[in-house]
Amino acid sequence: MLFSELLHTPLLLLLLPIVAFLYASVGHGGASGYIAVMSLFAFPVSVMKPTALVLNILVSGISFYFYYREKQFDWKLFYPFALTSIPFSFLGGLLTVETHYYKVILASVLIIAVLRLLGVFGKEQAVLKPVNFPLALLIGATIGFLSGLIGIGGGIILSPVILFLGWANMKPTAAVSALFIFVNSLAGLFGFVSQGGSLPLSSAAVISVVLVGGILGSYYGSRKFNTATLRNVLAFVLGIAILKLYTT
């Protein structure tokens, strides 16, 4: 099936907005989810990475707007990660990973995403602690490089780390993750394009359904919304994608 035909597959157009909705509800752009769904439809890696980054920029930008409007954003929590993540995400975007290793790295990140969705880790701490600046710089650089390398924003990794270390509660973490994803995705995309990578002409239908899912997820997530059942469904879809990545 041609790429243009894949973009109009009904099941794809159903799954992508669900991914956008659920990820945006917790301040994420959804790149790891988009890539997982695209891998189920056998998209080439050269298409998955830039497409996921573009969709990530759109959804994380929307998500940040809603969380910022609700006064959940904390600049002091954000900037230590961003200082190192942006240049390292650009650096990761410059590199091209051989398909086999790309799939292995992606599958490993998706395992983190599934565990996060199932609530295995990333829970709020009872007592908050001040941010350890040097550690935040190191975390930002590591996540930023990985983000640019495989085409994600890194929020699916950053948010559970912030919560685990007790540096913020859920909603401020979601707000910081949303902007973190936005800037990293931009940096990774610039790195990808500067090395001669091209942006596939995405279907208006794909962008439209993803935007709808992102807007709704951001709106409900920035307030109070329980998406436990849908999160389990998404975790199941990601689980299938992980198996496919490891076995192909």
Q: Give me the number of domains the chain comprises.
A: 1
57 belongs to a structural domain? yes
Asked if 59 and 23 touch (Cβ cutoff 8 Å), the reply is yes
What is this structure's pTM? 0.82
Q: What is the pLDDT of residue 105?
A: 84
28 belongs to a structural domain? yes
Q: Report residue 183's pLDDT band, with 50, 70 and 90 as the boundaries.
A: very high
Q: Report residue 74's pLDDT band, with 50, 70 and 90 as the boundaries.
A: very high
**pLDDT digit string, tens, across residues 102-112:** 888 888 887 88
177 belongs to a structural domain? yes
Q: At what angle do helices 133-150 and 155-165 cross, to 10 degrees?
A: 160
Q: What is the pLDDT of residue 154?
A: 86
Nearest to 59 by CA among 169, 209, 161: 209
Q: Report residue 99's pLDDT band, with 50, 70 and 90 as the boundaries.
A: confident
93 belongs to a structural domain? yes
Range of the domain at 202: 9-247
pLDDT of residue 226 exceeding 60:
no
Question: Region 126-146: what's the mean pLDDT?
Answer: 92
Please tell me the least confidently modeled range out of 76-85, 92-101, 232-241: 232-241
130 belongs to a structural domain? yes
Angle formed at CA 181 by CA 179 and CA 182, multiple of 5 degrees: 60
Q: What is the pLDDT of residue 2?
A: 45
pLDDT of residue 10 exceeding 70:
yes
122 belongs to a structural domain? yes
> CA 161 to CA 169: how far, in whole Å?
12
> CA 22 to CA 248: how far, in whole Å?
27
pLDDT of residue 4 exceeding 60:
no
